[in-house]
Amino acid sequence: MVPHFPGANPLRRGSIKRDDSIGTSATPNRRSLRQRLGGSPGRPTMVAACCVVLSMSAGVLAVVPSAQAEPPDPAAKKKQLDSQIQESRADLHDSYDQLAKSTASYTRAETQYKAVQVRYAAAQGRLAAAKAADVVAASKLKAAEEALQTALSDVDAGEQVILEQKHVAGRAAQSAYQQQNSLVGLSIVLNGASPADVATGVQVQRNVFGIQGNTITKLNNAQAQLANKRAKVSQAEKIVAAQRAEAARTVQQVTALTLQVAKDKAEAAKLAQARLVAYKAAEKDKNSELAQYNALVAERNRVQAILIARAKAEKAAAARRKAAAEARERARAKQEHRPPRAVADDPGSSSGLSYPINTYITSPYGMRFHPVLHYWKLHDGTDFGAGCGTPIHAAASGVITDRYYNGGYGNRLFLSNGVINGSSITTVYNHLSRYKVRVGQRVTKGQVIGYVGTTGYSTGCHLHFMVYEDGRVVNPMKWL
């Protein structure tokens, strides 16, 4: 007797982690999780990051049949996968929602961390430049103050020269006044001075007048030089004021940038810690995802082994029925004294399958590449989008063989449809919210057998519909 599928241990159902995913076809990503989470110098900053929801429901995590054991080259499949993504934006099946969230959280933390690192480095550069400018400004201020002091000293010296020149000029003026008195010449003439004495007196007068002119010229030059020195003092004072203002600005800038650098450094340290926490969470969820993947592989292998045995049993039973029919035909032919007629194989049903839900397809059967686990895996069914509670109809007549809960597929319902067009067919309905039929019950095509749900490894209400042909999973669309 072919065994039934045992359900999940009821005592462990409460501990099974719920994943709200519906699977996406993602473009292959050859980097390891550590590379993605730790970053690399050659990798562009993401950020944002555009982080695809990493989906992985029970169906996608199934083992690829032996005929498809070698996964296709990601480069060769990239165009096809990109096309699938564009065709179905709702293709979110077969993903672990928490892994997507934790990975997205890490990506955001990494982006923020790198941004603050850039800002911190820029602030450090501006601070260094400001400090250098402060040194230059201080040097200029010192030079300007020294120039001002020199100019002030020159003015003091100039004023002393002017004072001395004024004294000289005063004495010269007094002497000139005395010498150019008209009575002097008259007294020379009246006193009967000789012509030689008169000439000598005139020469003395001329000498006095020359001294007076030179003294006045020197005084004028000294005053002009003093005015020039005072102008230099005024210019030096302006330069000193400007340099003091510049020095004050650089000091203020250095102070502000020092505070900014300290703030950015503290923020970088905080984000580095958040980045580490997010990395550990993503690693933990990745390991959980991997464990779930391995559990689903084991479940799929177990189911496939049972269905292969059941398909063999069905075909053996069909062969026995044919042998019995041939024996009856031979006996009848003998009684009727005629040659026995050929007995046809058990035709079974030839009407094919019908849609379990009359709605749209959200994720087709096919290969998927997990961007974190880096596994090629088969999305082993067709997903139909529908609200929770939507009735599910039997795709063909048959007998309910099994129903149970699985951590990945959720509530499962197995319907053995017998031999259809020479193949043993079993249809499987996953993620149900509740059942409408019991094990051992015979149902007819189109009969309501359960209701759409989001149990197990699922992020939204949908039906994950599977078809087993001779015990091996195949594309349901081949039969619909």
- Same domain assignment for residues 86 and 137: no
Encode pLDDT of 47-83 as tens digits. 333 333 333 333 333 333 333 344 555 555 555 555 5
Model pLDDT, residue 405: 96
Residue 12 placed within a domain: no
- Same domain assignment for residues 87 and 159: no
* Domain ranges, residue 248: 120-269
Residue 286 placed within a domain: no
Which residues face 81 on adjacent strands? none
User: Is the dihedral angle over the CA atoms 358, 361, 362, 368 positive or is it negative?
Assistant: positive
The residue type at 275: R
**How much of the chain, in percent, has pLDDT values that exceed 70?**
69
The count of domains in the chain is 2
CB 445 within 8 Å of CB 439:
no
- Same domain assignment for residues 350 and 421: yes
- Same domain assignment for residues 146 and 75: no
Q: Residue 415: helix, strand or coil by DSSP? A: strand
Which residues face 108 on adjacent strands? none
- Same domain assignment for residues 312 and 453: yes
Q: Residue 384: helix, strand or coil by DSSP? A: strand
CB 393 within 8 Å of CB 451:
no
- Same domain assignment for residues 255 and 393: no
Identify the band that residue 92 occupies on the pLDDT scale cut at 50, 70 and 90: very low
Encode pLDDT of 338-347 as tens digits. 999 988 766 5
Cα–Cα nearest to 62, from 449, 435, 428, 478: 428
Identify the band that residue 252 occupies on the pLDDT scale cut at 50, 70 and 90: confident
Cα–Cα nearest to 415, from 385, 445, 459: 445
Choose the final residue of a domain: 249, 269, 289: 269
Close Cβ partners of 109 (under 8 Å, ≥ 6 residues apart): 271, 274, 275, 278
Q: Residue 424: helix, strand or coil by DSSP? A: strand
CA separation for the pair 275, 46 (Å, rounded): 14
Encode pLDDT of 151-180 as tens digits. 788 778 877 878 877 777 676 666 655 655
Residue 276 placed within a domain: no
> Across 314-397, where does the E strand assignment appear?
361-363, 366-369, 376-379, 382-385, 391-393
- Same domain assignment for residues 134 and 249: yes
Residue 11 placed within a domain: no
Higher pLDDT, 381 or 268: 381
Residue 195 placed within a domain: yes
pTM: 0.51
- Same domain assignment for residues 256 and 389: no
CB 467 within 8 Å of CB 478:
yes
Range with the largest mean pLDDT of 95-99, 122-126, 317-321, 384-388: 384-388
CA angle 148, 153, 154 (to 5 degrees): 95
Residue 109 placed within a domain: no
- Same domain assignment for residues 153 and 211: yes
CA separation for the pair 241, 135 (Å, rounded): 17
Task: Say if residue 343 is exposed, middle or buried (CB neighbours under 10 Å; 0-12, 13-18, 19+).
Answer: middle
Residue 288 placed within a domain: no
CB 107 within 8 Å of CB 37:
no
CATH number at residue 454: 2.70.70.10
Choose the final residue of a domain: 269, 289, 322: 269
Cα–Cα nearest to 465, from 354, 328, 377, 389: 354
Encode pLDDT of 421-467 as tens digits. 889 999 999 999 999 999 999 999 999 999 999 998 888 999 999 99
Close Cβ partners of 291 (under 8 Å, ≥ 6 residues apart): none
- Same domain assignment for residues 198 and 70: no
- Same domain assignment for residues 264 and 181: yes
Higher pLDDT, 363 or 7: 363
- Same domain assignment for residues 361 and 472: yes
CATH number at residue 220: 1.10.287
Cα–Cα nearest to 439, from 406, 473, 416: 416
Choose the final residue of a domain: 269, 285, 307: 269
